[in-house]
Amino acid sequence: MVTRLKQAPWWLLLSVQFMTVATPLAMLPFLSLHVQRLSGVGGKDVAIWTALIAAAPAIGAVLSTPIWARSAATYPLGRLLSLSCLVNAVSAVLQAHASSVEIFALGRSLQGLTGIGILLLLGVDNSPTSAGKGYFGLQQALAAGCITGPLLGGLAFDHDAFPALLTGCALSLAVLSVFCGFIVRAANPVTAKGQNTGFFIQLPSSGTRILILSAMLATAGAFGFMPFFASWAMERGGAVFTASLVGFIHAGSWAAAIVVLPLWGKGIDSGREIAAVKLSVAGSVAALLLLLTGSTVVWISLWRMAHGALNSGLSPSLFARLGRSKHRIVDLAAGRMAVTLGQIIGPAICGLAVSAAGNDGALFAAALLTLLGATLLYLQPEAQFHDGE
């Protein structure tokens, strides 16, 4: 069963993607600093809390994705998108007015229960656009959110205005919830042949499993270092790195992604998704290793931008490949869950690395995770990547 997108405006899906990304990204680069403010403690306790809170949304997403995938076969897409945006709004309100680390963690955890990732993938998969335009268009909206979020978050952190910023995001998400409920009413569930409609999602083919596992590890590397980047940069550059500057560096990495995403889209439309995934993962390894050598604002900014440009091709290429398989909904759901799982593994491993080896440990761990993903990808015979088509 698949929810076929019939009358949902493309701008509405892109707006939902933008807001559901910009809201958590406003906080994520400064998470360790904000946790320290809330808890009043430092050292290893902050690192552990930061890792747990960063991973909390992904844990909920992994657990809830099969439920949302099955719900999409029963309920209209507009109703599901409306509910998802509403839960995101409640999450933002809880974070905005949290008076303790525990309440803040609860707000972050709700983000993972929204199912927005699989809902948007189902929408793109059934839209009239090509695979390349659909998936890189969604990725461009994500990149725009990743630019706006850290920029506003850096300014809010410097001026102690996170409650006002997150409250504004919650209001925007509530408005989108209303729009989705009324505008997407004509998107009804329909039956798609060859799809498993049971609660448990079957395993993809062996080649596809390796592809998904590699993407999960690369995602773990990218997201694992992000919550600790501010502390790492300030330790490297001292007083030069303010929260606003860290936000601008994050924004620069996603601006680079927006610039190169049309090139990734051309590779997808030409049927070279596997080659694009390989290039993205290998390039991400190189960028993270080069970031280890950065000691000035210029070089750190340059390698962060390089990593953003190279890593941006991973998700659209992966989902375009999974969307062409014989069991695309099964594979898309498995891919969405695995990428989300990478967002759990990454912060957890990098948090442990910070506890053991300081902020540089987080970057080492991120590079090693991505390297492992690249190794698995390049050791797999090319023919096995196509055994599910």
Residue at 189 is within a domain: no
In a domain, 192, yes or no: no
Residue 199 placed within a domain:
no
> Which is more confidently placed, 240 or 164?
164
Beta bridge partners of 189: 3
pLDDT of res. 33? 79
Strand partners, 3: 189
- Chain mean pLDDT for the chain: 80
- What pTM was computed for the model? 0.73
Q: Is residue 135 part of a domain?
A: yes
Identify the burial level of 97 via C-beta atoms within 10 angstroms of its C-beta, where 0-12 means exposed, 13-18 middle and 19 or more buried: middle
Percent over 70 (pLDDT), the chain: 84
Range of the domain at 378: 8-184+204-386
pLDDT of residue 345: 83
User: What is the per-residue pLDDT for 131?
Assistant: 57
Reading the block at residue 217, the tokens are 């590890």
Buried b (16+ CB within 10 A) or exposed e, 280-297: bbbbbbbbbbbbeebeeb
Domain-located, residue 52: yes
Residue 278 belongs to a domain = yes
In a domain, 103, yes or no: yes
**What is the CATH classification number for the domain harbouring 379?**
1.20.1250.20
CA–CA dist 341, 349 (Å, integer): 12
Measured CA distances, 81 to 20, 45, 113, 138, 344 (Å): 11, 37, 12, 15, 24
pLDDT tens figures, 184-227 = 655 555 344 444 444 444 555 667 888 999 999 999 999 888 87
Q: How far is CA 199 from CA 73, 115, 202, 376, in A?
A: 11, 15, 10, 30
pLDDT digit string (tens) for 284-309?
999 999 988 877 888 888 999 999 89
Q: Collect all residues with Cβ–Cβ distance below 8 Å to 93 and sequence separation of at least 6.
A: 107, 166, 167, 170
In the chain, the number of structural domains is 1
| Domain contains 304 | yes
Q: Output the six-digit token pair for 316.
A: 């659209």
User: pLDDT of 110-166, one tens digit each?
Assistant: 888 888 888 887 777 655 565 566 677 787 888 888 788 878 888 888 788 889 999
Neighbours of 342 (CB within 10 A): 25
